[in-house]
Structures are given as C-alpha cells and as structure tokens.
Structure 1
C-alpha cells in the first residue's frame, strides 16, 4: 500500500536563515500545547542541531519523551526529521516516517514546505494516521508562521 505524503507550505516574511532558526530552535515556542505524547503537557520541544541529534519534548518536571531523530541538518535550507511515533502516538524507535522541511527564498521572505512521507509504514493504521496528521500539520505550520511574523516585528 502506498500513502501519499502530506505536503503543507507557508510563506513567512523573513529570510531562510531566520525561518530555519525559528522552526528548529524555537519549536517549543510555537508547537501547540497538548499536541505532544508525554504524560504531562510539554514545557519545551527540542530539535538537537545536528544529524543524529534527538527530537523530543520536555515536560515541567524535566521528563523527556522522544519523538525521533534528526536525519539531516542542512541550515538554512533543509532539515529532515525521523518521526518515530506510532499509530497509538507513543515513541517507537523501530518505526520511522520522515518529516522534511525546506526553506526556500521567496521574494523578501521564505517559502517553508513540510513533507511528511513514508506514511505506509504505519501499516493497517496508515490511512487513519495520515488523515490525522494531515489535519494537524496545517495548524502547526500556521502557529510557526505566526510566531515568525511576531518575532520579525
């Protein structure tokens, strides 16, 4: 079975290096509260800035819940994240789908495109999870765009 990737884009009025920095370095500031997998609401979300780094959430007690790994780190143009969250929204190091985010100059701003692919790896749950993720990514990207615009002022 093949599941089409989820593709979402936004344009922000900052250069690619700034958009990349906000997306990767300030993800905890724009990621929607409650859209995490830890036992408690997150205080921060962290993408370690290197290939092989971790992608995780941290709650108010300092407990870290893994989301996946950084597969490619290519500032300011691209980051590729391994999403290791299963159909029950629990961390699973044996399952990896991919979240690729690119940052391309667009006039005075940047076109940010997110592609969540390899969704067929969810197996029997693939269509259901693709629909859930497809409904979640647009709102998250808008939160990113809103923070980027606010920070640019």
Structure 2
C-alpha cells in the first residue's frame, strides 16, 4: 500500500524598501541580476534567469555558452501585484514538461512605502514519493529563503 504524501505548501515572505511596482519589476525583469548562480540546472555555467513578461511566457535559464534550460512557464502575469509560475523541475532538478507545481508571488504595498513580498510553492504532492524530499529542499534556508534574501538585497539597494 502506497501512502500519499501531501506536504504543506512552502511559504516565505520578505518586506522590501521598494514600491510595489519596483519590487515586481526587480523580481521579474531583473531576476537574472539577483537569482543565485548556485541555483541552476543547465550543463553550462550559469549566466542569467529569464521570465518572459506575459501569461504563457517561458521561465528559463541561460548558460554562459548561450544554452537554455527550461524551468517552467508563467501561468499568471498581473503586474504589479501577482505572479504565478509553473515550476516544472523534477526531484533531481531536471525539467519535466509533465510535472507542474506552482510558485505564487504576491506584492502587497505597505503604508510606509515598502512592499511585502509573499511566496508560496504549492502542489508538492505531485512529486509522489519524492514530495517530502522536495518540500524539505525548497523549504530549507538555502531554498526559497535564500532566493528571497537575494531578491530583498537587490530591492533594498
């Protein structure tokens, strides 16, 4: 008998010293500038991460040799308040077009001019037997926590 593992969604948040519009732009258009180079899947050394600015757009990385490695695609593009991405990396961090988990990022303006950025990575149960392993990885301090820390550094600069 196989037990279905359903880990809780991974949730992380930061508040940055940037307007809602600027925070959204830095997270999306400038993602290649702040995304951690250690978090890449391509065979070539990492150069940049790209989000195409539209629903249905690609999410991919570019290697130093110009090669591209798909990560997923944009499910919802609602500037400056919401971004919904399809994360299509398997438990070994390889692109799998048949696997879709979701990464939702909300940008909420605060009264003091800052913006709260909340990230949720959900549907991790779609990893089956690897669900808890993936949840532990993306939920670790080196996972989404590190990604948001680097984003906050860029947004606060």
TM-score clears 0.5: yes
Instruction: Check the 8 A contact 1:82/1:97 in 2, yes or no.
Output: yes
- Residue 20 of structure 1 corresponds to 24
Q: Measure the CA separation in 2 of the matches of 1:33 and 1:71.
A: 24
SS in 1 for 2:97: coil
Gaps of 5+ in 2: none
How far does the alpha carbon of each residue in 1:16-53 deviate from its partner, in whole angstroms, 9 at most, with x for none? Answer: 11000000011111111121110122111000000000
Counterpart contact for 2:36–2:147, Cα < 8 Å: yes
Q: Which residue does 2:53 correspond to in 1?
A: 49
Indicate which of 109, 116, 121 corresponds to 2:126: 121
Q: Which runs of 5+ in 1 are unaligned?
A: none
CA RMSD in angstroms comes to 0.7
Please tell me whether the aligned partners of residues 9 and 111 of structure 1 are also in contact (alpha carbons under 8 angstroms).
Answer: yes
CA distance in 1, matches of 2:34, 2:123: 25
Tell me the TM-score normalised to structure 1 length: 0.96
Count of paired positions: 150
Distance 2:153 2:76 in 1: 25
Structure 1 segments (4+ residues) deviating >4 Å: none
SS in 2 for 1:125: helix
Query: After superposition, where does 1:51-66 map in structure 2 within 5 Å?
Result: 51-66=55-70
Say which SS state the counterpart of residue 76 (structure 1) adopts.
coil
CA contact (8 A) 1:11 1:145 kept: yes
Q: Confirm whether residue 111 of structure 1 aligns to residue 139 of structure 2.
A: no
Q: Point out the structure with the larger helix share.
A: 1
